[in-house]
Structure 1
Amino acid sequence: MDENEDVPKDFIKLKSEKLSVDEVSELVVSPSCGAVSLFIGITRNNFEGKKVIHLEYEAYISMAETEIKKICRNIRQKWPSVKHIAVHHRLGAESLEAVMYCINTLKASVPIWKKEIYEDEYSWKENKECFWLKEKKTDIIYL
């Protein structure tokens, strides 16, 4: 194994051509990590009752790359065990809206709780946006 193979690296690409999931996956695999996390955004076919045909994006490439590099640095500060990071964004394509949709929908509909751990106690929290919390407040069980 090359001694530099596991040195953390960032792979940033903004392009108009179709993105390759396999290419991105191969960039971030590390023998010292047990998983690869990917987010693949897609365009939904409607928004607020309107049919979505396609989305277009433009970017000031050098500025966008600089900002993505800052995000990568922030990720490494918050999660030092993260090895390789690949941020590939297709310009003129439909990914950013899908990311927002996924995150907002996940918060609103998926039953996920987090455990906030403090110095001498902990507390379980739910996503306040969850539709099922609004409908059935009395059915929540706190541990």
Structure 2
Amino acid sequence: MILIAMKASINPIPGLRSTHPHDSFKISFAPLSLEEVYGLADDPSNGAIALMSGTVRQQTEGKAVKYLEYQAYEPMALVIFQEIAATIRQQWPETNRVVIHHRIGKLEIGEISVLIAVGCPHRAEAFAACRYGIDTLKHNAPIWKKEFWADGSGTWVSIGACEEAE
């Protein structure tokens, strides 16, 4: 396994928003598609596509999870997605495509909650940009999840509050 460490600021650069015609941002109640996101990130100039898939796991901090419910302030979340893409393009200028899709509503164990894909000519940039994308989304996007546990309890959590456990 090869791990590449690159430092990147978590905060997007103020005032930047991606308007690149090939970028794709979506918040959806419908299941997310790995094939669709990969296809949207594909470009003949790419040497690499880094794709991150976040899924609903069966336990959190030792508590059995029954299912999750996601909510988002969609207009602002999409602006944050655009800002993330703009910052990616500034920090890794050879980036060809940025795709950020997040699901909302009730999700069962194993379902995909978020997909981020970045297409670049080289793998190091693709990995670093994709990691920046998910880390920044979890820190900045107005998206919340409620964990419903097997014991019948549950709690709402800001996505950013979960980043240490990921």
What TM-score range do you get, normalising by the shorter chain? 0.5 to 0.7
Give the partner amino acid of 2:102: H
Aligned with 1:91 (options 100, 104, 118): 104
Shift of 1:95: 2.8
Aligned with 2:83 (options 60, 70, 81): 70
Q: Runs of 4 or more off by more than 4 Å in structure 1?
A: 103-106
What CA distance in whole angstroms lies between the structure 2 residues aligned with 1:28 and 1:8? 12
- RMSD of the TM alignment (CA)? 2.3
Indicate the residue corresponding to 1:20 in structure 2: 33
Question: TM-score, with normalisation over the residues of structure 1?
Answer: 0.60
Q: Is the 8 A contact 1:18 1:90 kept in 2?
A: yes
Give the partner amino acid of 2:113: S
What CA distance in whole angstroms lies between the structure 1 residues aligned with 2:21 and 2:37? 15
| Number of positions where the alignment pairs a residue of Structure 1 with one of Structure 2 | 96
| Aligned: 1:46 with 2:59 | yes
Shift of 1:47: 1.2
| Aligned: 1:79 with 2:97 | no
Q: Is the 8 A contact 2:58 2:66 kept in 1?
A: yes
Shift of 1:53: 1.0
What CA distance in whole angstroms lies between the structure 1 residues aligned with 2:57 and 2:43? 32
Aligned-pair identity (%): 39
Higher normalized helix content (fraction of residues):
1
Q: Is the 8 A contact 2:32 2:113 kept in 1?
A: no
What CA distance in whole angstroms lies between the structure 1 residues aligned with 2:164 and 2:49? 22
After the TM superposition, which residues 2-17 of structure 1 pair with which residues of structure 2 at under 5 Å, given as runs? 9-17=22-30
Q: Is the 8 A contact 1:76 1:82 kept in 2?
A: yes
Question: TM-score, with normalisation over the residues of structure 2?
Answer: 0.52
SS, match of residue 70 in structure 2: coil
Indicate the residue corresponding to 1:3 in structure 2: none
Q: Is the 8 A contact 1:8 1:83 kept in 2?
A: no
Q: Greater Rg, structure 1 or structure 2? A: 1
